[in-house]
Amino acid sequence: MHLQLFVQISGLDFANSGYQETMQINKTVYIICISLVLVSCAGPKTSSSGSSAGTTKTVTRKIVEGYQLQVLNTTNRNEALEAKSLLLSKYPQQKTFLLFQTPYYKIRFGNFISQSEAVGYQKKIKSHFTNVFVIPAKFEIRVKE
């Protein structure tokens, strides 16, 4: 569920009339779009699909421990966006993440179950970026049952 809160504070109209002078002050302050994201942590998410013949497939999502590549760590937002764009164009089958942890923008790449798979991509990506590190990560996968 995504909630947006809009608040408008309006008012403070003053009029002071003299013989030949008029003073009027209008002040409007807007506080726009404070977003709240509510997340349900009730356990694994499941869904079922099937035909009328009685076959049912259940898809379960679960959190696993794996690896990602940290490709870039910079304070320059444009540099981070360019790096993300390059990775998306070269490797569209892999996920690319832009994280902001004050004051750094970090580019993370891929969701790898095995460290050897992450190291394989690390070798490919090092031709474009100088400091690429394999880091442990947790991410969600879908399991069909």
Q: 80 and 107 in contact (C-beta within 8 Å)?
A: yes
User: Can you tell me the mean pLDDT for 54-82?
Assistant: 92
User: Can you tell me the mean pLDDT for 25-42?
Assistant: 37
User: Can you tell me the mean pLDDT for 9-37?
Assistant: 40
Find tokens 């990775």 and name the residue.
87
Instruction: Kindly state the helix (H) or strand (E) to which residue 15 belongs, with its residue range.
Output: strand 2-17
**pLDDT at res. 143:** 87
User: Can you tell me the mean pLDDT for 45-53?
Assistant: 52
CATH superfamily of 56-144: Sporulation related repeat (3.30.70.1070)
CA distance 25 to 15: 8
Residues of the chain with CATH 3.30.70.1070: 56-144
**Percentage of residues of the chain with pLDDT beyond 90:** 55
Comparing 12 with 55, the larger pLDDT belongs to 55
Mean confidence (pLDDT) of the chain: 75
Find tokens 């540099």 and name the residue.
79
